[in-house]
Amino acid sequence: MVLELNLNSLLGRLALALFVFAGCALLVLVIVSKFVIATLADDRFVVTRDMLQVPVTYFPNSARLNGRLAAAELSESDRNLANAKEHAQRAVKLSPNDYRYRVTLASIEEAGGDRSAAESALLAARALAPSHWSVRYRLGNLLVRQGKLTQSLDELKIAVAANSTLLPGTLDLLWRASRGNVEALETVAGSNPKARLTLAQFLLKSSRPAEASAVFGTIDRSGRLASSTDSASFLNLLIAAGELQAARDFWGEIAGGERQSLAVWNGGFESDLMKDFTQFDWQFGKSEYARLSIDPAVAHSGSRSLKVEFVGRDTTQLDNEIRQLVLVRPGARYALECYVKTNGLETPEGPRLVVANTTWIAASEPVAQGSNDWQRLAVEFVAPPNPKNAMSAVYISLKRKPKFSYDEPTRGDLWLDDFSLKEQ
């Protein structure tokens, strides 16, 4: 059948105009409806329940609007869970392959106290989006709250592997739910070095140093160096917790590639300092009285030494600008020595080699004035007691403490090299 329209007649022209107008109106309606739905369903815009009630009435078959209204209803302080559930179920029915509406439905079911229904909704969401970490995390979290700890671990492990920011909160959740089950936490952390480092820090902060050290010990040197800031923080926490030997052993593996038994590290200043890892290496601070530098042209042995250039300021003081933390056996007698060279040193009293913790334990004779070739500087001391630990920690340093509130400026240079500490 052929429909002929005579445009030469008024009736034909009117029919064409009505047809075009109807088509345009329909097109405008489609465009407007799509714009309204897209705008109100956009997560970037904050909408309320009241804003969505009328649009949902006009577009009842929009899964996006029904899902958005269900979520908005759930967030209201005077929420109507039955209404939220109705719209969530409608969204699921209208768009059965979109996992997001099932996640919203799960939240509504749990808010209503039906965790079993919430679990079913999340299992359906997982089937639709098995690789989406948020679904896995929600399901794992819900399983923990249901007391299904073993079933939750795989879900949480997958979520944490995809989004590492979830790990600290997940560890805390599992720690409380499992009553301190370290094995459960290890399962979720997996084998990723950074995740295991986070776990080690968590265990240490939870007063489980032995387990924390065991976890940290499984991370190889490259993994520790790749997360140097976190590794250094762990060592600092170990030291603060009094786990001195473990901290020293781990530090030796990082700094030298193996556990080092030397009491003084880098005694000849031949190795460069490692960023973040100065726990048992030389620590240099700024001084207004002297400039500190590694001199590659002067050495007692090897090729380098530490140079101290005094700037000639009165009442010269050196305190913690040069120091190293070393471990000693409580009650044992030790001899600490180094070699010192001076050039034009002028001072009311030279600096001393000092062993200290919170106070001075022992000090050498002061460095002699003038210009002198390498001379031995030594001090003997008894390591302080530590009833809570098999090891004690002391600082070795170069100090100058003025005898009076004012003394003459210290000028000149000195070099230090070949530090060693031996048990007598």
d(CA 47, CA 51): 6
Residue 36's pLDDT is 47
Highest mean pLDDT pick, 1-5, 252-256, 374-378, 388-392: 374-378
Give the pLDDT of residue 64: 84
Residue 14 pLDDT class (50, 70, 90 cuts): low
Which are the contacts of 402, defined by CB distance < 8 A and separation ≥ 6? 315, 316, 317, 348
Listing DSSP states for 44-110 in one string gives: TS---HHHHHHHHHH-TT-HHHHHHHHHHHHHSTT--HHHHHHHHHHHHHH-TT-HHHHHHHHHHHH
| pLDDT attached to residue 296 | 97
Residue 38 has pLDDT above 90, yes or no: no
Question: What local confidence, expressed as pLDDT, does residue 35 receive?
Answer: 43
pLDDT beyond 60 at 45: no
pLDDT of residue 260: 62
Residue 68 pLDDT greater than 60, yes or no: yes
Superfamily name with CATH number, domain 283-423? Galactose-binding domain-like (2.60.120.260)
What is the arithmetic mean of pLDDT over 226-253? 94
Q: What is the pLDDT of residues 294-337, one digit of tens each?
A: 999 999 999 999 999 999 999 999 998 999 999 999 999 999 99
Indicate the pLDDT class of residue 28, thresholds 50, 70 and 90. very low
pLDDT reported for residue 126: 97
User: Closest Cα partner for 71 from 116, 101, 45, 95?
Assistant: 101
Cα–Cα distance for residue pair 137/142, rounded to 1 Å: 8
Contact 391, 347 (CB under 8 A): no
Q: For 268-290, what is the mean pLDDT? A: 93
Residue 15 has pLDDT above 80, yes or no: no
pLDDT at res. 230: 94
Instruction: For the chain, give every domain's residue range.
Output: 191-261, 283-423
Overall average pLDDT of the 62-88 stretch: 88
Nearest one of 403, 415, 389, 251 to 324, comparing CA atoms? 251
Residue type, 200: A
pLDDT 10s digits, 107-127: 999 999 999 999 999 999 999
Helix or strand holding residue 303 (H, E): none
Q: What's the chain's average pLDDT? A: 88
Q: What is the pLDDT of residue 42?
A: 52
Question: pLDDT value at position 31?
Answer: 46
Distances (CA, A) of 83 to 50, 56, 78, 109, 124: 13, 13, 12, 12, 21
Return the higher-pLDDT residue of 392 and 20: 392
- Is residue 158 within 8 Å of 188, Cβ to Cβ? no
CA 143 to chain centroid, in Å, comes to 27
Q: Which residue has the higher pLDDT, 176 or 26?
A: 176
Across the range 391-412, mean pLDDT stands at: 93
d(CA 402, CA 131): 68
How confident is the model at residue 2, as a pLDDT? 53
Residue 370 has pLDDT above 80, yes or no: yes
258 pLDDT more than 70: no
User: To the nearest 10°, the Cα dihedral for 83, 89, 95, 96?
Assistant: 170
* The pLDDT value given to residue 210: 95
Can you give the C-alpha Rg of the chain in angstroms? 36
Distance of CA 36 to the CA centre of its chain: 43
pLDDT digits (tens, 9 = 90+) for 135-194: 999 999 999 999 999 999 999 999 999 999 999 999 999 999 999 999 999 999 999 999
Measure the CA–CA gap between 310 and 331, rounded to whole angstroms: 36
> pTM of the entire structure?
0.80
pLDDT > 90 fraction of the chain, expressed in percent and rounded: 74
**Cβ(422)–Cβ(269) under 8 Å?**
no
Query: Average pLDDT of 183-208?
Result: 96
